[in-house]
């Protein structure tokens, strides 16, 4: 890991983040611009928060009704760098190769996100869980709308 991937803490210790985590933190993909939430015509939305760390995550998804693929994904995360990087990576995973089907997307686990990021410090693993949970809620929201 490069020296650039070390992020110094206030107490002089360092946490090691992969270059992939740093890239997604400093250059997040598919972020919902602030104030544009009401203009985005999402098919499903999921919101989760973690009382343990104060992070909150919202994911909006658009679905192709014929293929049941996620064709667009936007998100906002209010939290630490690991939460931002995890959500950014999740959004890329969902949209790769023309988009994941809903059946594929519901199978994404936090470990899949962490693996794609090159790992997270143990005390930041909960950040990748938020993305998984928000995605599950967004898919559930979409499926509930279809039934009503």
CATH number of the domain that residue 60 is part of: 3.90.1010.10
User: What is the Cα–Cα distance from 94 to 37, expressed in whole angstroms?
Assistant: 19
Summarised one tens digit per residue, pLDDT across range 66-118 is 999 999 999 998 888 888 999 999 999 999 999 999 999 999 998 999 899 99
Q: Which residues are catalytic?
A: 53, 127
pLDDT of residue 130: 84
User: What is the Cα–Cα distance from 50 to 47, expressed in whole angstroms?
Assistant: 11
pLDDT of residue 12: 46
Number of domains within the chain: 1
Domain around 33: 3-147
Contacts of 134 (CB under 8 A, 6+ apart): 46, 47, 48, 57, 58, 59, 75, 87
3-class secondary-structure state, position 58: strand
In Å, the largest CA–CA distance within the chain is 55
């Amino acid at each position: 890991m490069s020296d650039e991937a070390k992020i110094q803490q206030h107490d002089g210790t360092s946490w090691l983040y992969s270059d992939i985590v740093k890239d997604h933190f400093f250059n997040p993909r598919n972020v919902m611009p602030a104030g544009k939430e009401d203009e985005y015509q999402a098919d499903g939305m999921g919101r989760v928060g973690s009382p343990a760390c104060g992070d909150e995550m919202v994911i909006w998804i658009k679905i192709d009704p014929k293929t049941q693929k996620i064709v667009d994904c936007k998100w906002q995360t209010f939290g630490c760098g690991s939460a931002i990087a995890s959500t950014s990576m999740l959004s890329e995973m969902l949209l790769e190769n023309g988009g994941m089907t809903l059946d594929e997307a519901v199978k994404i686990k936090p470990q899949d996100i962490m693996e794609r990021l090159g790992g997270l410090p143990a005390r930041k693993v909960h950040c990748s869980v938020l993305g998984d949970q928000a995605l599950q809620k967004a898919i559930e929201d979409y499926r509930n709308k279809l039934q009503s």
